[in-house]
Structure 1
């Protein structure tokens, strides 16, 4: 059964529990640009033993939580996650409009 996370604390806790990190990408949109949000998982493993993993993945750049949450709120989005304890992809999520 999915649940929707809106609060910064809930989103950060859910993501951190799965070794996730926030990412953003600016893309052209008409005469301006828009910000795409993403979460990446396993970055901490890439950075273990002093081996710095990439700061960019598929055009997305790692960012701090404050910058990521500003983009989430500016786009009026929430994070829908699976809370199925039976397994599956623990990092399964999607961005949805806030109610």
Structure 2
């Protein structure tokens, strides 16, 4: 069986396409919202553990917070069995991906084994 691999990206279109192709929606952890602003970000997949604790937000609000918090998305296209994977994790943006200076139009994607 081939080993599954993850990718890391800051590209908004790539993130949105990956999430939506799996039924994922942008969300925030309800208990971390402050003054109407999103708190901790998540991608919510229907039927998973986020029910009740997550609140859907717009992609615009998601990416505004994503940039403000200097994040990147680590995600997996397929499981080791070749099935579509919903694995994702929001992490601090690696320095080689542009840090705070990255803009939506500047895509950097890399594979990590």
Q: TM-score, normalised by structure 1?
A: 0.70
Describe the SS at the equivalent of 1:57. Answer: coil
Contact kept in structure 1, 2:38 and 2:61, CA below 8 Å: no
Q: Give the structure, 1 or 2, with the largest relative contact order (CA under 8 Å, sep 6 or more).
A: 2
Flag the 1:20–1:60 CA change in 2: closer, same or farther, 3 A: same
Unaligned runs of 5+ in 2: 95-113
What is the rounded CA distance, in whole Å, between the counterparts of 2:46 and 2:53 in structure 1? 17
Unaligned runs of 5+ in 1: 44-55
Where does residue 58 of structure 2 map in the other structure?
A: 64
Query: More strand by proportion, 1 or 2?
Result: 1
What is the rounded CA distance, in whole Å, between the counterparts of 1:81 and 1:71 in structure 2? 18
Flag the 1:82–1:28 CA change in 2: closer, same or farther, 3 A: closer
RMSD over aligned Cα atoms: 2.7
Q: TM-score, normalised by structure 2?
A: 0.62
Q: Deviations over 1:32-80 (max 9, x none)?
A: x98101111137xxxxxxxxxxxx8333211110001111111111110
Where does residue 26 of structure 2 map in the other structure?
A: 22
Where does residue 105 of structure 2 map in the other structure?
A: none
Per the TM alignment, residue 6 of structure 1 is displaced from its structure 2 partner at its CA by 0.7
1:97 aligns with 2:101: no
Where does residue 84 of structure 1 map in the other structure?
A: 78
Aligned length in residues: 84
